[in-house]
Structure 1
Amino acid sequence: MGLLDVILSSALAHPFFTFPAIAVTLLFSLAIYRIHLHPLSHIPGPVLPAVTSLWLWYHSYIGDEASIIHTLHAKYGPVLRVSPNELDISDHEAIPAIYVTKGGFPKAACYSNFDIDGHSTIFSTTDTNYRAPRAKAVVPLFSTKSIRENEAALYGCVDRMVERMKEEKEARGVVNLLNLTRSLAVDAVSTHLFRENYNGTSEKSSKMSASAFVDAFVAVGRFFYLPNSLFTWVEWASEKFFPDEHTNESMTVVDRFVDGLVQNTPAKGSLNYPGRLLELGLLDQTEVKAQCKDLLFAGTDSSGMNLATIFRQLVLHPDVYEKLRKELLDNAGPQKQEIQSLPLLSAVVREGLRISMANPTRLPHVVPAGGWTFKGAHFPAGTIVGCSGYELHFNPTVFPNPRLFQPERWFDATQEAQKSFFAFGAGSRSCIAKNLAMTELYMATERLVLSDVLKGARAVQEEIGIYEWFNSKVVGEEIELAWENRVER
């Protein structure tokens, strides 16, 4: 053995040399396996997502996940590999298998990152046995019958929001739609489901007291795809090293509201949301509070964003506004029809939901035992698959000029369009509160247009930027309207 051989052998035997070498070799081998030998290696997509989940985590964190995946679908096709074991599907024909048939595929484990105060919720749980009795107990509250019985109270919330807009218009000439619609949303949820109004529309501050609470849960979406153990560490570190006094104050206000609500609800005989859960005998008060907070967050954020989008689009399209106002005025007589049967109002609401992107990203579920074959491609058990509202709603083949607000596209909508509508998800795990949310959208749009408060308004921002997290977050947290010729008091 020569001197050089001896030196190399000694170096290779040194632990500080061999460990990096072995690590690099293993990582290189893993990359080769995932690119060429993995069961999903036949699915098209960029190389980096096939190698590591860091690509997906990064784009989720910075908030451009949905739009960057949209551009990749245009290049690679309807089935796209977005991480080593995860696929994004832009084809509505995948919806029945993933979300509907026999209850659909199980939810992915990352939904548990939306647990609240250590408790799974009806939304976040991946355990159908856990969810079933809780959902069954409260589903009657979301029925058409229950909502109609409480119609007067819901209209009261809407009318207060309209009056608040008039007040701000006359006082300042500028209105932050997002704050007002969130205020209405929290009032509607609490009034109908808790039988106790949060009274967000009565608050005079520039930002509703529950907004920071909602934003804190929205921000969880930055880390949605992280493994549960890693998410727990990140959440702990964020709270410890980056505390936010405003968020803590908002959390305290909401906690106080929910604590009083649950403590004053009897365990037997109450017909409100916490009462129905307590009557099960399965939940202690801390879990009931968590379920109530989950409902407040989801109902406030999504409905607030959807309503603000609809109102802004009506201002941007005065021709649609005037036609809708005429339809509503014509319907105001003694022969008044159900507002959800009005063709233009229905089209406006549906088109607003299509473009608002309250929940833009993928709803990930897990391929069950036996695997799944979709259009000739086989995906093994354990593969994470999902569709997104962003991808389905902005598909130019289904919705020509998809970025444009065109309510008339729903007058004679194609089957493709109907099947691609994904604002509330699909199947048994779709939004439990969609009936209430739709009623709120119809009522609020009707009363606001009839009031004519939007007359003469202009949209302040040319575009509304969003962070594309599980729940979208508006950049700057404002969707503003302004009136130049307002009546001064």
Structure 2
Amino acid sequence: MTIHAAFVSGIHVIAQVIAIGLLVPLLIAVYRVTFHPLARSPGPRLAALSNVWLARRVRDGRMFEVGKKIHKRYGPVVRVGPNEVWFDSREAFSAIYSAGSGIEKSDFYLATKLNKPEVDWRMNLHWPDTLDFLSEFDTRRYRLQRRLIGPTYQTTNIKKFEHAIDGVITQAIQKLKSLDGAEVDLKEWMHIIAVECLGAVVLSWSPGYIRNGTDGGTSAQSYLGWKRKSVFGLFPLVTKLSFFSKGVARRFSNLWGVTFTTPKNFKPFFTPVYQKSSKRITAALRVDKPPAKNTRKDLLADLIQLHQDRPEFTETYLRRLAVTNFGAGHETMCSALTSIVAMIGSHPGTAQQIRDELPPISTESGVVSHDDALRLRYTQACIKEAQRLHPVIGMSLSRRAPAEGLSLHGYYMPPGTTIGCNPVSLHRNPEISGPSPDEFLPGRWLGDAEVARAMERCNLTWGGGARMCPGRHLAEMVLYKVVPALIREFDIEILAMPKDEDVKYYFMAMLTGVRARFVPVGGGKGNVAS
């Protein structure tokens, strides 16, 4: 073969490779739009081609805006990815999240895993048994873990830590009064209170946030982590590859603009949490000498006792859960408190209606007891309504369609399809929440009993079905006590509420950008004991 012939032959080969490279994506695109089992499902056309459509909106923090609008445009069934469908109906909620559905979590949760897997010769992933409630795929293992910790996290046990929360609330109110009505970032202050409550309840410890009047940027920094996880979760293959190569994760992060650096001199509260809990657990479990007498009456003491009474609640479980209380709780509590206080403060007359139903001071601390808080019907309605409008989860709580597939609203979801409800969308469906679903109307919880029951049933505030958040009772106790205390003591002026397009929602959702002033009621004469 002459040089010329070889050259021409090489050109032909290159041309064929380029043609194939262009043809394959084109054929995939045609298949996904025209012949895929989900091709009939309504939704943005670009979403059918690639997860890039949804990932771009996740990266930009636009899940609040998307959640509010997408079902209004396309109906109860929306295809948001080549293999992902969102729903916002009672029928879908019941089919996907009911306790007996047996529908498993989707591969999105690979991005939230706390540990790397082991890989066998078939490239199957095997996850260590370390207690990871959010991302646990093994239903049997998850149920065992929930049964073990269930009694410890029930309200009957959690209530004994009320005094610890009362102490935090008293300190927080005193500090807020000392600010003399200065403008603050509402989310930061709600994070301060949330972390301080967790520290007091779990470890009998304070991170010093109230004393310093700042959380040191920990809330903002951890929220960036959710931006990254939320994007990675939409690309399970990339997530799997990143388990074996940090370079894959780094390049993908850079490509999507979800790489972030830790500020200089940044001090995360997880370091002292880990150190303090580890030290106490090690001391309690020493076998070379009798354990030191435990004089602390906190949640970690209960967990240590649970391990001693029930060896199947392993030391690994114990150490992980001690930290998980903070990892799972600090952002969800912060998110809920922020939305509740922002909604109450931005709707004239709401705070006064809450004050009108507050009982007289009946405790030494001056903080409403948990039992009394449950009787505050209007206050409870305000809390539920704020969480309905601004849930702590901003994306679909996705699951994997079962082996037999799933049919909903006349559409068939093949086995393995990623399916789920986005809480922002679901909670605003007028067939569930009643008229004016986008408005803050606490009365909707106090009027039509059928509407109230529907909203209670179809609610993803704390997760769905068998995967309900195990720490919800602790979180609710904090909310029920903090909110009345702040409203009793302060006129909360909301100075700036972000526009929908400016609210940064990822999988973990926060009402960001709210500026507020805490002005003492009655010119500074408060009711909480000093």
Give the TM-score category using the shorter length. 0.7 to 0.9
Q: CA contact under 8 A between 2:67 and 2:424: conserved in structure 1?
A: no
Partner of 2:435: 400
Q: Does 1:379 align with 2:413?
A: yes
TM-score normalised by the chain length of structure 2: 0.79
- Structure 2 gaps of 5+ residues are 117-129, 287-293, 295-299, 526-530
Alignment of 1:325-340 (within 5 A): 325-329=355-359, 338-340=372-374
Instruction: Kindly provide the amino acid, as one letter, of the partner of residue 308 in structure 1.
Output: T
- Pick closer, same or farther for the CA change 1:197–1:402 going to 2, 3 Å: farther
Instruction: Kindly provide the amino acid, as one letter, of the partner of residue 389 in structure 1.
Output: P
Instruction: Kindly provide the amino acid, as one letter, of the partner of residue 337 in structure 2.
Output: L
Partner of 1:57: 55
Partner of 2:266: 249
- Pick closer, same or farther for the CA change 1:69–1:320 going to 2, 3 Å: closer
CA offsets 1:98-147 (integer angstroms, 9 cap, x no match)? 11241541001221211225466121111223323333332222201112
Partner of 2:145: 134
TM-score normalised by the chain length of structure 1: 0.86
Instruction: Kindly provide the amino acid, as one letter, of the partner of residue 481 in structure 1.
Output: R
Find the partner of 2:279 among 260, 263, 278: 263
Partner of 2:290: none
Residue 378 of structure 1 deviates from its aligned partner by 2.1
Partner of 1:302: 332
Partners of 1:182 and 1:247 in 2: how far apart? 21
**RMSD over aligned Cα atoms:** 3.4
Partner of 2:507: 470
Partners of 1:275 and 1:186 in 2: how far apart? 24
Partner of 1:362: 396
Partner of 1:27: 25
Q: CA contact under 8 A between 1:224 and 1:470: conserved in structure 2?
A: no
Residue 88 of structure 1 deviates from its aligned partner by 0.4
Partners of 1:48 and 1:376 in 2: how far apart? 23
- Pick closer, same or farther for the CA change 1:429–1:376 going to 2, 3 Å: same
Partners of 1:30 and 1:289 in 2: how far apart? 47
Residue 330 of structure 1 deviates from its aligned partner by 5.7
Aligned with 1:362: secondary structure?
coil
- Pick closer, same or farther for the CA change 1:314–1:407 going to 2, 3 Å: same
Residue 205 of structure 1 deviates from its aligned partner by 4.3
Aligned with 1:318: secondary structure?
coil
Q: CA contact under 8 A between 1:214 and 1:297: conserved in structure 2?
A: no
- Pick closer, same or farther for the CA change 1:247–1:91 going to 2, 3 Å: farther
CA offsets 1:458-489 (integer angstroms, 9 cap, x no match)? 2121336422201124545x54226599769x
Partners of 2:510 and 2:241 in 1: how far apart? 23
Partners of 1:394 and 1:403 in 2: how far apart? 6
Partners of 2:22 and 2:378 in 1: how far apart? 61
Partners of 1:370 and 1:445 in 2: how far apart? 46
Partners of 1:466 and 1:290 in 2: how far apart? 32
Q: Which shows bigger deviation, 229-238 or 140-149? A: 229-238
Find the partner of 2:165 among 141, 146, 154: 154
Partners of 1:443 and 1:280 in 2: how far apart? 34
Aligned with 2:412: secondary structure?
strand
Aligned with 2:85: secondary structure?
strand
Q: Does 1:14 align with 2:12?
A: yes
Find the partner of 1:68 among 62, 66, 69: 66
Partner of 2:105: 107
Q: CA contact under 8 A between 1:70 and 1:391: conserved in structure 2?
A: yes
Q: Percent identity?
A: 22
- Pick closer, same or farther for the CA change 1:256–1:54 going to 2, 3 Å: same
Partner of 1:312: 342
Instruction: Kindly provide the amino acid, as one letter, of the partner of residue 177 in structure 1.
Output: L
Partner of 1:348: 382
Residue 386 of structure 1 deviates from its aligned partner by 0.2
Partner of 1:3: none
- Structure 1 gaps of 5+ residues are 1-5
- Pick closer, same or farther for the CA change 1:333–1:467 going to 2, 3 Å: closer
Residue 201 of structure 1 deviates from its aligned partner by 4.3
Find the partner of 1:215 among 203, 223, 227: 223
- Pick closer, same or farther for the CA change 1:199–1:76 going to 2, 3 Å: same
Higher fraction of helix:
1
Q: Which shows bigger deviation, 147-156 or 320-329? A: 147-156
CA offsets 1:258-283 (integer angstroms, 9 cap, x no match)? 12212212249974346646864675
Q: CA contact under 8 A between 1:200 and 1:209: conserved in structure 2?
A: no
Q: Does 1:177 align with 2:186?
A: yes
